Structure formats: C-alpha cells, structure tokens
Structure 1
Amino acid sequence: MPPQPDLPDPAHHDVDSMLSRKFGREVANYFSGSPLNRVSFLRADHGFISKALVHPSTSFLLFNDLAPLAKDPTVLAYATHDEVRPLIGENPFEKEEAELIKEYNSAITLPLVLFLGLDERKKEGFEHGIYKGTPYFAVDVTPKGTIEKEANGVIDAMKAKGLQFVEGRMHMTLNAPEAAIYAQARALLDWNARNPFCGGCGQPTLSVNAGTKRVCPPTDYASLPTAQGGATSVEAKPHERAACVTRRGISNLSFPRTDPTVIMAVVSHDGKRILLGRQKRWPPYWYSTLAGFCEPAESVEEAVRREVWEESGVLLGRVVIHSTQPWPYPANLMIGAIGQALPDGEKIHLEHDPELQDAKWVEVDEVKEALKVGTSGLGEPPGEGYKEGGLRLPPKTAIANQLLRAVVGGFLELKEQSNI
C-alpha cells in the first residue's frame, strides 16, 4: 500500500484555551488547512487583483480537464506568468469588471483564471497596502473553443519540462497543504465549468470576481447559434439580450455552491459496537461509516438521524458534531458527526433506501484492529499485517477514518458537565 500523506495541523493546536481543555484539540481533516489567506474581499479590488497577477513571485496552478499539474502524485507544480501568458494574455484582469461586462462577446472563449489567495509565509516581493505574500492563481488550460491552440501550447510546454497532469478521480496522495490548495482550485474550476449558462434565462454567463461569481451580461457582441445549428456571428456593436431576473431587484448572481453532507459514526447504546455499511461496488470486506446529503430546511442532527434510519433502519438519539472536511467532488462539505442508537432502535434492516448492500454492528476491538492494519483507498491493497477476510476501512485522509478513531479513542468518555 502506498504511504498515506500526513493530515494538516489543527489551527492553533499549541495554544491552551478553555474550549480545548473541555472538548479536546480541534480536528483538521484532509483537504482543509490551506496555507493561503484567501483575502476574499480583495477579489473585487481591481488594483489588487491586476497587480497580483503579473507580479514576478506569483504562482499559477494549472488544470487540464480538472487534472492538476504536478511533479509527481505527491507534489504539485506551478507555472510562472511568462509560461501562461500565451494563453491568458498579459493581464486578463487589466480591465475592470464593468468594462468586461460591457464588452462581452459569447463567441470568444475567455481563459478561466482564479485567484486563490496569498501565502503570507513568503512575504518578500508582493505587497498591497497591509497585505503581503506570494499570490496564487489557478488557470484552466483545458483545450476548448477559440483558445484550443494556445491551451495545447501551454500543456506541451509543461510536459516538455518533465511535468505531468495527474489523472484520477481523486488526488489523495498530495501532501496536506497542497491538497487544500488543490481542493479549493478544483471546486471553483468545476463550478465554473458546470455553469456556462444562466439559471434565470439560459443565456451564456461571464466569469467575474476572479473566478468566484458568474454574471449574465445585458448585451452581447455575438448572436446566439440558430435553432438549425448555424454558426454564431459577431456583430459590429452589442445587441440587447433577453431580460433576466438576475439583472433586477436583489443581486442574485450565480455564486459557487457548497453542498452540505453528513457522515456519521454510529455507536450502539451500550457503546461497545459501531455501525458500518458497505456498497456493492466496494472491495470485499471494505466497510465505512454511513453518509448522505442534507436536505432543505433540515438541521445537521436531523439529517444524521434520517440518513441512518433510511439506510440501515437504526434509530438514533443524541448526535454531536465532531469535525468537517471539504470534499471537492464536486463541491461537498462533509460534516462529521457521532450518533448513538436508541436502546430499542438497534435492529438493522435495509428495506428503506437500497443504497447499501450490507450493514452490520462491529465490535470496537475489531474496528481498532482494522484501523491499524486494514485501511486503504478503494483501489489500493490493505496495510501490512492485514489477514484476508478481516475488516477493511477507509484511509486516514477520509473523515470516516477520523470519526472511527475518535470513537475507539475515547471521544464518548464522560466529560465534565456545564452548570449553565
């Protein structure tokens, strides 16, 4: 089994506080813990963003069809402004947002450039007022539309340097800090790719705010393709587009979405067993915690109880939040919880939601042993010391692993009660 990357350090884990003494150290999961300060309020600052993009210290993370540029599967690689200039031009943020909207031409493919943040550990070089650090951007170099030739040129230049665009549905071998940078960039690139048209009127949209908003411009220099599939024409002056709800009343532009998802370690009422489930597509003996999406007007605790009942028939009482994990496939936030079964609610039946092939109660000691020798990714062999037929579990980069470790490590032990 390939070595599993380290997890990010929790924020301020070395600082004593009342909360840490009462609830323990904060848990940081894989894909969190980014070293970048997002300074999100500066994305709309034209002076900042245009200056940051062309600074000599700026790093560009490139993606080809969501595959990141890397030295190897554990370390990302970054391009310079000179190396991406053939695709993005001298400065795609040279013009202010209002001017870009006014000049909108849906027949022209604009390169997608996202601002990720500042690495304040590297303060030399770029500064903007009180903000100092190395700027990080992400660029989509997927060959498409009117920039296909330029994108292919950048891709070939990167490959000529011995770098690679690492394919794969998930990239869970990256070192922890870069995994967080990758997750942010991938989620934003994927969201932009999924929203080329307006949800209000169906017309093409324009990426603004350094890749974190999409607007439906009121005018367009291009005529839309005809119903018969005729080519898009370019007009000498912009024409008015159809009315759109996003251009009036409350500012309801298109923003990146994050889908809340619950994932839970379920403990028996006596605390001696843990509920695990498996899907048919998983390897033999491979089990995990249960999970599912939150629904509208539903609390996290309610979602945990509902999903567990729907998938396994088990009824839960108390639910507590343990930790969370960004999951950029495409844009989930995994909300990790621990729940305890009701004394008369532990019977398992899979008659509601057919998602699981099997669910079972597993003794805590068996889970402890599996966490030592039986963890791996879905496509990887188990760890050293694993015996065929034993329980297999997700790797430590998955929040399911962290939830199980918390339960077997004493998370449920009686803590001091507050008098408030």
Structure 2
Amino acid sequence: MPAQPDLPLAAPELLDSMLTRKFGPEVQNYFSGSPLNRLSFLRTDHAFLAAALTHHSTAFVAVDDLAPAARDAANLAYVSHADLSAVIGENPFAKTEAEMIEAYNSKVASPLILFLGINDKRHEGFEYKAYKGVPYFAVDITPKGSHEEAAKGVIETLKAKNLIFLQGRSAMTLNASDAAIFAQARALLDWNARNPFCSGCGQPTLSVHAGTKRVCPTADLAPGASARGPCATRGVVSNLSFPRTDPTVIMAVISHDGTKVLLGRQKRWPTDWYSTLAGFCEPAESVEEAVRREVWEESGVRVGRVVVHSSQPWPYPANLMIGAIGQAVKGGEEINLEHDPELEQAKWFDFETVRVALKTGTSGLDEAPGEGRKEGDLRLPGHTAIANQLLQAVVLGGFLGGETKI
C-alpha cells in the first residue's frame, strides 16, 4: 500500500488562541491548508496578471484532461512559462476584460489559464504594489481546438523530462501543500469545462477573472455566429456564472450510550470496507437538519444533537464536505435500510473495533489495507478522507476530550 501523505499543519496563529484553548486545535483536512494567498480582488487587474504570468519566478501547474503534471506521486511538477509558451501564446492578460469581451470569437478556443494566488512566504523578486511573493498559475494543456498540436508537443516535452500525469484520484498521494493547490486548480478547470454556455440564453460564454467567472458577451465575431439578443445575465440584476460548490454533510454518529459508532457500506466497496454516512445538503436546510435527515433516510437511525467538527474541500468535482458528529436519540438506534436503498449495509461498531481498524485497516478504496490487519477485520478510509478524522475524534476522544491522534 502506498504511503499515505501527511495532513496540513495548522498555522502558528491558529494555535495561540483562546478559542483553541477552549475548543481544541482546528482540524486541517486533506485538500485544505493551501500556502497561497489567493488575492481574489486582483483577478480583474490585468496589469497585475500580465506581469505575474511572465515573471521568472512564476510557478505553473500544467493539467492535461484534469491530470496534473508531477515529478512523482507525492510532488507536483511546477514548470516555467517557457515550458508552456507554445500553448499560452501571447500574454492573454495584455487585454482588459472589456477588450476581451469586445473581441470575443467563439470559434477561437484559447487555453484556460487560472491565477491561483501568490506564495507570500517566498520572496523571489516578484512585487506588485504591496504584494510580494511567487505567483502560481494553472494552465489547461488538454489537446483541443486551435492549440491541439501545440498542446500535444508540450505534453511530449514534459514527459521527455520524466514528468508524469496523475490520473483520476491518484492525485490523493500528493503532499498536503501540493494537494491543496491542485484541488483549487482542478475544481476551477472542471467548472469551466462544464459551463461553456450561458444559462440565460444558451450562447457560448467567455472565461474572465483569471478563470473564476464566465460572462455572456454582447456579440460574437465568429463567422456565421447568430446575432445575440438581450440576456438576463447582462441586466440590472446580474446573474453571471460563478464557480459552484456543493455543500455535503458527512457524519460520525455515536450511539445514545456513547459506546458505538454507526458505519455503512455500498455494494461496490471492497469486502469489510465501511465508512461514515454522507449526503448533500438540500435548499433551505441547515447542516444539522441535513445530518439528521440523511442518517434517517439511509439507515433509519434517528439523530438528536449535532456538532460541526471540521470541513474538507473535495474537488471531485466541487464539494465542500462538512464534517459533523451526531448522537442517536434514546430508542432511535434501530437500523432500517428500506427508506432509501443507497447502502448495502449499516452496522453499529464498538469503539475498540474502530480503534483497531484505524491502526491497521485504513486505505483507499482501490488499495490494500495496512499491515497488521487480520482477515475479516473492519476496513476504513485512510486519513486523507474526512471520515477518518471524524472517527478519530469519536473513538479516541479528541473532539470530546482526551487524545487527538493514534
């Protein structure tokens, strides 16, 4: 089984706090803890973006069909502008947003370039107004459109330098810092790819704000393009397209007497592999209500008090996992899978069984369990999953008082 990456470390300012002394340390989950200052208010400043894009210190994440270039399974490969210049072409930020919209041609597919932020802990020459650090961008080098051949050439050149592209969820082997940077890039690239048309009029849209907003231009210079009429997204009440994040609850539910935890499994999962229950929040529903509803619908168990534990960005494609701990009400622990047949099985496990599994039986779905596990023993998600952190909080007492780690 490949080594599981470390989790993000809490910043010093998070530790020296009266809130930390009262409630314990803040839990940092995998895919969070990015070292970058996103400087979101500078995404419309094209002078800043143009200078940052071509600076000698700037680091680029090259992504082919959502697979990032990497040096190995644990480390992204931060390449230079020169490595990607064949795809990037002329500096796209040399034009203002207004000029980009005025010159819009839906038949000319420019590669998507995302500004991710600045690492202001590293000072290597780039400076703009009060901001210093190393700029980070992500570039979609997927071979397509007018830059297909250039993209193929860039990919072959990067592979010739012994770089690899991490496919699917292989990126979950990345070190914590790189994983957080990739999560931001992946979510934005995926969102842009899924939203090429305007929700108001159905016409092709243009990516602006360095990849974090899409607009419906007033005209299209492409040959044969139909005339564009009025669109609600350009009205007084703006309905422009921004990246979507779907809130999802995931919860460790303990029995009323505080000795067992509820876990479930889906049919496609490996034998003996269980996890905490989870589901999407619905409109006009609080996190606490979503926890109680999802647990009852999937398992029949009725939950009373719910406490939020921590959260985890999950870029597959764009979820925010809101981790919670809930407790079953007295007399409400009977399992019934007949409401919503999503789970193959749900069971109560005593704390000691879960403690053993956390030590010897954690893994990804497609990985072998840890050393020391006995055949037939419980298997659980690895610690890059928030489910693992929730179970640690429950059975080791960290969130409820006592130790915090195995």
TM-score by length of 2: 0.97
Q: What is the rounded CA distance, in whole Å, between the counterparts of 2:397 and 2:77 in structure 1?
A: 40
> Could you tell me how far 1:408 is from its partner in structure 2?
1.0
| Equivalent residue, structure 2, for 1:168 | 168
Residue 87 of structure 1 contacts residue 154 of structure 1 at CA under 8 Å; is this kept in 2? yes
Residue 47 of structure 2 contacts residue 93 of structure 2 at CA under 8 Å; is this kept in 1? no
Q: What is the rounded CA distance, in whole Å, between the counterparts of 1:130 and 1:329 in structure 2?
A: 35
| Equivalent residue, structure 1, for 2:193 | 193
Residue 248 of structure 2 contacts residue 279 of structure 2 at CA under 8 Å; is this kept in 1? yes
| Equivalent residue, structure 1, for 2:247 | 260
Q: What is the rounded CA distance, in whole Å, between the counterparts of 2:399 and 2:303 in structure 1?
A: 15
| Equivalent residue, structure 1, for 2:62 | 62
Partner-residue secondary structure (3-state), 1:335: strand
Residue 24 of structure 2 contacts residue 399 of structure 2 at CA under 8 Å; is this kept in 1? no
> Could you tell me how far 1:18 is from its partner in structure 2?
1.7
Q: What is the rounded CA distance, in whole Å, between the counterparts of 1:215 and 1:149 in structure 2?
A: 28
Partner-residue secondary structure (3-state), 1:241: coil
| Equivalent residue, structure 1, for 2:297 | 310
| Equivalent residue, structure 2, for 1:77 | 77
Going from structure 1 to structure 2, the CA distance change for 1:366 and 1:13 (only over 3 Å counts) comes to farther
Instruction: State yes or no: 1:350 paired with 2:341.
Output: no
Within the candidate set 243, 254, 259, 2:230 is matched to: 243
Within the candidate set 374, 377, 394, 1:387 is matched to: 374
| Equivalent residue, structure 2, for 1:289 | 276
Partner-residue secondary structure (3-state), 2:79: coil
Runs of 5+ in structure 2 lacking a partner? Answer: none
Residue 11 of structure 1 contacts residue 26 of structure 1 at CA under 8 Å; is this kept in 2? no
Moved more, 249-258 or 92-101: 249-258
Q: What is the rounded CA distance, in whole Å, between the counterparts of 2:22 and 2:379 in structure 1?
A: 32
| Equivalent residue, structure 2, for 1:338 | 325
Moved more, 11-20 or 254-263: 11-20
Q: What is the rounded CA distance, in whole Å, between the counterparts of 2:110 and 2:14 in structure 1?
A: 45
Cα deviation code 1:150-205 (max 9, x no counterpart): 11111111111111112123521000000000000000000000001111111000
Residue 187 of structure 2 contacts residue 318 of structure 2 at CA under 8 Å; is this kept in 1? yes
Runs of 5+ in structure 1 lacking a partner? Answer: 224-232, 416-420
Within the candidate set 381, 384, 387, 1:400 is matched to: 387
Q: How does 1:108-127 map to 2 (within 5 A)?
A: 108-127=108-127
Partner-residue secondary structure (3-state), 2:94: coil
Moved more, 299-308 or 140-149: 140-149
Going from structure 1 to structure 2, the CA distance change for 1:73 and 1:413 (only over 3 Å counts) comes to closer
Letter in 2 for 1:398: A
Residue 58 of structure 2 contacts residue 136 of structure 2 at CA under 8 Å; is this kept in 1? yes
| Equivalent residue, structure 2, for 1:51 | 51
Q: What is the rounded CA distance, in whole Å, between the counterparts of 2:36 and 2:244 in structure 1?
A: 20
| Equivalent residue, structure 1, for 2:204 | 204
| Equivalent residue, structure 2, for 1:220 | 220
Q: What is the rounded CA distance, in whole Å, between the counterparts of 1:14 and 1:42 in structure 2?
A: 26
Letter in 1 for 2:217: P
The aligned length equals 402
| Equivalent residue, structure 1, for 2:132 | 132
Partner-residue secondary structure (3-state), 2:197: coil
Identity of aligned residues (%): 68
Residue 31 of structure 1 contacts residue 179 of structure 1 at CA under 8 Å; is this kept in 2? yes
Q: Which runs of 4+ in 1 moved over 6 A?
A: none
Partner-residue secondary structure (3-state), 1:172: helix
Residue 232 of structure 2 contacts residue 238 of structure 2 at CA under 8 Å; is this kept in 1? no
Cα deviation code 1:45-99 (max 9, x no counterpart): 1111111111111111010000000011111002211121111113111100000
Letter in 2 for 1:389: G
Q: What is the rounded CA distance, in whole Å, between the counterparts of 1:413 and 1:147 in structure 2?
A: 55
Q: What is the rounded CA distance, in whole Å, between the counterparts of 1:49 and 1:342 in structure 2?
A: 54
Partner-residue secondary structure (3-state), 1:404: helix
Q: What is the rounded CA distance, in whole Å, between the counterparts of 1:12 and 1:315 in structure 2?
A: 39
TM-score by length of 1: 0.94
Residue 278 of structure 1 contacts residue 286 of structure 1 at CA under 8 Å; is this kept in 2? yes
> Could you tell me how far 1:16 is from its partner in structure 2?
2.7
Instruction: State yes or no: 1:362 paired with 2:349.
Output: yes
Residue 251 of structure 2 contacts residue 278 of structure 2 at CA under 8 Å; is this kept in 1? yes
Going from structure 1 to structure 2, the CA distance change for 1:89 and 1:408 (only over 3 Å counts) comes to same
Residue 263 of structure 1 contacts residue 304 of structure 1 at CA under 8 Å; is this kept in 2? yes
Going from structure 1 to structure 2, the CA distance change for 1:274 and 1:51 (only over 3 Å counts) comes to same
Letter in 2 for 1:321: V
Letter in 1 for 2:244: R
Residue 29 of structure 1 contacts residue 324 of structure 1 at CA under 8 Å; is this kept in 2? yes
| Equivalent residue, structure 2, for 1:228 | none
| Equivalent residue, structure 2, for 1:21 | 21
Partner-residue secondary structure (3-state), 2:167: coil
Moved more, 284-293 or 83-92: 83-92
Higher helix share: 2
Instruction: State yes or no: 1:321 paired with 2:308.
Output: yes
Letter in 2 for 1:259: D
| Equivalent residue, structure 2, for 1:147 | 147
